[in-house]
Amino acid sequence: MGRTQPEGPMGTASKALSLLNYFSRAQSQIGLSDLARLSGMNKATVYRLMGELADHGFVEQVGAGREYRLGPAFLRLAALREKAVPMRELALAELTKLSELTGETSHMSLLNGEVLSNLTYSYAHKHGTMVMMEDAEVLELHSTGSGLAVLAFSPAPFVDAILSKPLVARTPETVTDPAAIQALLPKIRKRGMAWSIGGYERDVYSHAVPIFDAGSQCIGAMAVAAPVSRMTDELRATIQTELALAARRTTRVLGGFPPDSFPKINPTDSPVESELT
């Protein structure tokens, strides 16, 4: 997936595909004029491109306003992808174990352009409260544990590009100073794990470990998210141990390899206190 976006003029196919990125959980239907405005393309161009997307079932038009929404073709293609590369299934198996062992919500997300999107998750049913997740939920790179884990193991130009944009504060705890975030990354690299305490959702204490592909590129992260109020030294130790193991198994089972620089797991390591505050 592309850490290769702004390369000269976009091809026509790319323009069509990029239109799909404006659909989200929050905005599932978009009209022609809106789409033209959002994309900065000419209305006629958008009209023709969306027509082509519609011919293939990638979008469909609905209702009186003739608004567009994502089409049914994705269900078929996602099933084919999952059959060829059962990422979701394999990740879910690890997450299920991880949630049982830790008693907390675990999830895995994939890098998609400049954000992470949630691939799948697993709840524990040990407590009356738990951190909630959603399919295809978007996680920002700068404000989440998973995002920091990914940043720490991504190429410097990519990191710089992300951190040079305005960083929105999701909570009062969110770190929005690029320099402060850059300073965190070496620690994360050394530990092979990132933390975030209340940076995304106020009361969520999150640990995250990067996941790598066959070329040792970081493609996403596996994470455990617990309520801040429930975090103890013991829980932290359990999460850190089990998450590291689960993430390593996941990278392996997906056919990937951690980079040589990635720290080896040592079971006798003492749990690490947060270094984010």
Binding mask 112-151 for a copy of itself (x = CB under 8 A): x----x-x--------------xxx---------------
32 touches DNA by CB under 7 A: yes
28 touches DNA by CB under 7 A: no
91 touches DNA by CB under 7 A: no
2 touches a copy of itself by CB under 8 A: yes
Distance CA 123, CA 39 (A): 37
89 touches a copy of itself by CB under 8 A: no
**Contact range with a copy of itself by CB under 8 A, out of 6-14, 142-150, 184-192, 243-251:** 6-14
**Contact range with a copy of itself by CB under 8 A, out of 23-31, 161-169, 176-184, 232-240:** 23-31
Half-sphere exposure of 143 toward its Cβ, with a 13 Å CA cutoff? 20
Binding mask 154-193 for a copy of itself (x = CB under 8 A): ----------------------------------------
Least Å from the CB of residue 68 to a copy of itself: 11
Least Å from the CB of residue 154 to a copy of itself: 16
71 touches a copy of itself by CB under 8 A: yes
27 touches DNA by CB under 7 A: no
Binding mask 6-25 for DNA (x = CB under 7 A): ---x-xxx-x----------
Residues 35-64 that bind a copy of itself (CB under 8 A): 48-49, 52-58, 60, 62-63
Binding mask 190-229 for a copy of itself (x = CB under 8 A): ------------------------x----x----------
Least Å from the CB of residue 218 to DNA: 21
Contacts of 18-25 with CB under 8 Å at 24 or more apart are 19/46, 19/49, 19/50, 19/53, 20/53, 20/58, 20/59, 20/70, 21/113, 23/69, 23/70, 24/138, 25/134, 25/136, 25/137, 25/138
Binding site for a copy of itself (CB under 8 A): 1-2, 4-5, 11-18, 20, 23-25, 28-29, 48-49, 52-58, 60, 62-63, 69-85, 87-88, 110, 112, 117, 119, 134-136, 214, 219
